[in-house]
Structure 1
Amino acid sequence: MSSTAADVVRLLTVRGETLAVAESLTGGMVAAAITAVPGASKAFRGSVTAYATELKRELLGVDAGLLTARGAVDPQVAARMAAGVRKALGADWGIATTGVAGPDAQDGQPVGTVFVAVDGPFGADDPSARGGKVEALRLNGDRAEIRMESVRSVLALLLRELAGEQTGNERAQDTERNGGF
């Protein structure tokens, strides 16, 4: 079991929030890492493994024009996959992976090109702050190593966002308790 996955489940559970996962190159490995954590059912809503490009459109609502123009290995596609699974499965947070694990390049992208994304209630008091965050990765190694690092990276991205949100909330509570700025 991954300690990052355990930390994600713990933070989501403490916050009373839920997670949904959209996966392409990882083929269910992110969902497997999360569900390996005892108590994951308190926070994990489910996952969609949209390996085929058309499923990204059909199941996750990724724009067909974007897929045609940019291909499935694209930062905007990753962001829309995370937002789409969050909406489709009714979760507070959505995360996604898309990329090229090999052995061949795809959509003009070399092996090791990966995009991981998180979509959630960022800055809930500021509507302009809502939305997603994407990280571009250039990974080395064989297919298995690229897929495992993609799992680690998307969970780490979510954990950073959850920890940042928690820190921000604690600051807001401290300000209220202390009667001002």
Structure 2
Amino acid sequence: MDTDAALVELYGPQPEHFIAARDELAKAVGEGDGHAAATIRMLRKTTIAAWLANQLVRVDPDGVHALTELGEQLRETYLSTDSARRRELTRQRHDLVAHLVQVARSRAASDRRLTGQTVERLTETLDAALVDPAAAQLLRSGQLTNALRHVGFGVVDENNNPAPLAPARPRVVHRPQSRRKTTTARYHRG
């Protein structure tokens, strides 16, 4: 059994079927490798937004590829001074994300009603893949369990929670007393 291929397929069906499919896969793998079976049993069911992103990889791989390529081009323009190119790519970004969200909505339309929050999370996932190469790689895997979100440059702790930053006191620089008198005296001499 090709376990890697089976894992990719595991994230394709509806989330409601994930647990049964995961347990069946773990049972099949467990006959030959107990450790791999235990690892498979620990896999989490996808959120609806992550499932939609995984569906895009399956039903519109060219669109996902175009999205990740556009992300590379956008990152390059931010390193250059070509603002006209950046504006054009940004317009393409909005159009492509809207197109992919529509593809995902139509894929899910026959099976479920999508909430505004789910669509927003899918959009955030696609935007994260545009901005961050690691997020793009995760999206292309087709095995997301949660939606992604790019939060910019921030400080996080070891648990990926925002780190509480203590306000820093401004450092006061004191001049030596003797130099201050000399400088003051020079300006008063006239």
Fold conserved (TM > 0.5)? no
TM-score using structure 2 length: 0.28
Q: Which protein, 1 or 2, shows the higher relative CO under an 8 Å CA cutoff with sep ≥ 6?
A: 2
Structure with the bigger percentage of helix: 2
Structure with the bigger percentage of strand: 1
Higher Rg of the two aligned structures = 2
